[in-house]
A and B are shown apart, each in its own frame.
Chain A
Amino acid sequence: GAGVSQSPRYKVAKRGQDVALRCDPISGHVSLFWYQQALGQGPEFLTYFQNEAQLDKSGLPSDRFFAERPEGSVSTLKIQRTQQEDSAVYLCASSFGLQAPYEQYFGPGTRLTVT
Chain B
Amino acid sequence: AQKITQTQPGMFVQEKEAVTLDCTYDTSDQSYGLFWYKQPSSGEMIFLIYQGSYDEQNATEGRYSLNFQKARKSANLVISASQLGDSAMYFCAMRGSGGYQKVTFGTGTKLQVIP
Does any Cβ of A come within 8 Å of B103's Cβ? yes
Q: Is the CB of B47 within 8 A of A41?
A: no
Contact partners of A104 in chain B: CB under 8 A: 35, 47, 101, 103
Contacts of B33 in A (CB 8 A): 100-102
Question: Could you tell me how many residues of chain B have their Cβ less than 8 Å away from some Cβ of chain A?
Answer: 24
Residues on the B chain within 8 Å of A45, using CB: 102-104
Q: Which of B6-65 contact A (CB under 8 A)?
A: 33, 35, 37, 42-47, 50, 52
B43 contacts A89, C-beta separation under 8 Å:
yes
Contact B103 A33 (CB under 8 A): yes
- Structural contact, B35 and A109, CB atoms closer than 8 A: no
A19 to B58, CA, bound (A): 44
In the bound complex, what is the Cα–Cα distance between A111 and B42 (angstroms)? 12
Given contacts A42-B91, A100-B52, A101-B50, is CB(A106)–CB(B45) below 8 Å?
yes
The answer to whether the Cβ of A95 comes within 8 Å of any Cβ in the partner chain is: yes
A45, B1: Cα distance in complex, Å: 13
Q: Which residues of A41-63 have CB atoms within 8 Å of chain B's CB atoms?
A: 41-45, 48, 56
List B contacts of A18 (CB < 8 A). none
**Size class of A's contact patch?**
20 to 34
- Inter-chain contact count A-B, CB under 8 Å? 62
- Neighbouring A residues of B93 by C-beta, 8 Å: 42
Q: Are the CB atoms of A102 and B95 closer together than 8 Å?
A: yes
Residue ID in chain B nearest A101 by CB atoms: B50
Contact A41 B107 (CB under 8 A): yes
A105 located at the interface, meaning its Cβ lies under 8 Å from any Cβ of chain B in the complex: yes
**Residues B101 and A42 in contact, CB atoms below 8 Å apart:** no
Whole-angstrom distance between the alpha carbons of A40 and B93 in the complex? 16
Is the beta-carbon distance between B45 and A93 smaller than 8 angstroms?
A: yes
* Given A101-B33, A102-B33, A103-B50, A91 and B102 contact (CB-CB distance below 8 Å): no
Complex CA gap A111/B44 in Å reads 12
Point out the residues of chain B lying under 8 angstroms from A56, CB to CB. 102
- Min CB–CB distance B44 → chain A (angstroms): 5
Smallest beta-carbon distance B85→chain A, Å: 18
Q: Given the complex of chains A and B, what is the CA–CA distance between A94 and B43 in angstroms?
A: 16
